[in-house]
Structure 1
Amino acid sequence: MKESMDATYWNDRYAQGSTGWDLKEVSPPLKAYIDQLTDKDLKILIPGGGYSYEAQYLWGQGFHNVYVVDLSELALENLKERVPEIPKRQLIQCNFFELEDTFDLILEQTFFCALDPSLRDDYVKKMHELFEDDGTLAGLLFNFPLTEKGPPFGGSIEEYRARFSPYFNIKTMETAYNSVAPRAGNELFINLKKK
């Protein structure tokens, strides 16, 4: 892992407002996915959640078993200020790979593409471990050529299928139809079930 992408790196990005990935609202494809969920008891994780407008939206919709993990203390404090009702224990400041828990649903908001690409196989294995039985990994991956100038780092549907298919059944992996304009055509919506 690149040393520069530790907690200090991410806190500095937030402190400087260098957060070009931040939509300042729930991502439309994730909002549409959340809107069709009916089980308010789902235990939900948002890894690398940042300011996590998705967690704020989930909470507002009555999903109170939502957890956010991020390296950045500043990002988690921002979410806590916006949604003070979220228990502090559900805002976890740690390295995603050190998380020890299980979930029913994990929402991916381009966290995968923010990680050093050398960690991609580890990410897939860790995701598999974080589900009890037939959990769902749903959300967004970037769909543009892999670059060394990230984060975000890109990737392709071919790469994602090859990495995820040993561990997950791929229900959906297609270009998101409802991305925000700057990301149109560059986001893949995924819905994967643990094997």
Structure 2
Amino acid sequence: MNQEINAGYWQQRYQSGQTGWDVGGITTPLKEYFDQLENKDLRILIPGCGNAYEAEYLFLCGFTQVYLVDVAEEPLLNFAHRVPGFPKEQLLHQDFFQMQDKYDLIVEQTFFCALAPELRPAYASKCAELLQPNGKLMGLLFDTVFSSPGPPFGGSREEYKNYFAPYFHFICFNTAHNSIKPRQGKELFMLLQVLSSDSEV
């Protein structure tokens, strides 16, 4: 699936309301992680942001440097309407794989599973490239195989480890203990720190 088709595909999904992955709010594992962050100036990127309830929560909690990126314009427009005070220049309608800036934290929430599986190695590499030294990749991955063709695309923790191991130190990569009920036992909570010469692990 090339990027042009991908963008059109996701735009159509949002416009037609075919967003079964969208639970209508921030999920518990992400909320509890955000709640223990003290530095409100962290540069945070949420790729494939969709309706971005995570960004809304962070913004309302006082985080000022939250950036959303999506190839589909519709969810960005929805977010701008829902959270009118959010800085418009931090809503990025572009391809994650073409980004060049640097961030302290990347938040993964249903973007990885939306990508064609052959893009997973490139995703891991790009996340590492976009992170500052000691930066972290945090979020949730589906630890299950779906019965119907994707997206979403599932997988296993063993598979995922192979993608991230060349670039990251694994702080946490375990079954999420606080998933929402429909996803209990089917999610991995991931907290990875980018490998760099001055990493403190």
> How high is the TM-score relative to the length of structure 1?
0.96
SS in 2 for 1:177: coil
Q: Aligned partners of 1:96, 1:150: CA distance in 2, in Å?
A: 20
Give the match for residue 108 of structure 2.
Answer: 108
Segment drifting more, 171-180 vs 47-56: 171-180
Instruction: Give deviations 1:60-94, integer Å, cap 9, x for gaps.
Output: 00001000000111100111111111111100011
Flag as ranges the 4+ runs of structure 1 deviating above 2 A.
Answer: 1-5, 145-148
Given that 1:147 and 1:153 are in contact with CA atoms closer than 8 Å, whether structure 2 keeps it comes out as no
Give the match for residue 150 of structure 1.
Answer: 150
**Aligned-residue identity in percent:** 51
Instruction: Give deviations 1:110-159, integer Å, cap 9, x for gaps.
Output: 21111000101111110010012110000001111277711110011101
Measured at CA, do residues 20 and 181 of structure 1 come closer, stay the same or move farther in structure 2, by a change above 3 Å?
same
Give the match for residue 123 of structure 1.
Answer: 123
Give the match for residue 89 of structure 1.
Answer: 89
Give the match for residue 187 of structure 1.
Answer: 187
Q: Aligned partners of 2:4, 2:99: CA distance in 1, in Å?
A: 21
Instruction: Give deviations 1:148-179, integer Å, cap 9, x for gaps.
Output: 71111001110111111110000000111111
Give the match for residue 173 of structure 1.
Answer: 173
Measured at CA, do residues 37 and 76 of structure 1 come closer, stay the same or move farther in structure 2, by a change above 3 Å?
same
Between Structure 1 and Structure 2, how many residues are aligned? Answer: 195
Which letter does structure 2 place at the counterpart of 1:143?
A: D
Which letter does structure 1 place at the counterpart of 2:17?
A: G
Q: Aligned partners of 2:147, 2:120: CA distance in 1, in Å?
A: 14
SS in 1 for 2:169: strand
Q: Aligned partners of 1:149, 1:3: CA distance in 2, in Å?
A: 19
Given that 2:47 and 2:69 are in contact with CA atoms closer than 8 Å, whether structure 1 keeps it comes out as yes
Q: Aligned partners of 2:5, 2:171: CA distance in 1, in Å?
A: 32
Q: Aligned partners of 1:24, 1:167: CA distance in 2, in Å?
A: 32
Runs (5+) with no aligned partner, structure 2 = 196-201
Measured at CA, do residues 132 and 155 of structure 1 come closer, stay the same or move farther in structure 2, by a change above 3 Å?
same
Give the match for residue 31 of structure 1.
Answer: 31
Runs (5+) with no aligned partner, structure 1 = none
Give the match for residue 47 of structure 1.
Answer: 47
Q: Aligned partners of 2:132, 2:28: CA distance in 1, in Å?
A: 28
Which letter does structure 1 place at the counterpart of 2:139?
A: G
Q: Aligned partners of 1:147, 1:162: CA distance in 2, in Å?
A: 23
Q: Aligned partners of 2:191, 2:32: CA distance in 1, in Å?
A: 13
Q: Aligned partners of 2:64, 2:155: CA distance in 1, in Å?
A: 33
Q: What's the RMSD between the two structures over aligned residues?
A: 1.5
Q: Aligned partners of 1:125, 1:3: CA distance in 2, in Å?
A: 18
Measured at CA, do residues 87 and 191 of structure 1 come closer, stay the same or move farther in structure 2, by a change above 3 Å?
same
> How high is the TM-score relative to the length of structure 2?
0.93
Given that 2:21 and 2:110 are in contact with CA atoms closer than 8 Å, whether structure 1 keeps it comes out as no
Q: Aligned partners of 1:169, 1:15: CA distance in 2, in Å?
A: 39
Give the match for residue 76 of structure 1.
Answer: 76
Given that 1:147 and 1:154 are in contact with CA atoms closer than 8 Å, whether structure 2 keeps it comes out as no
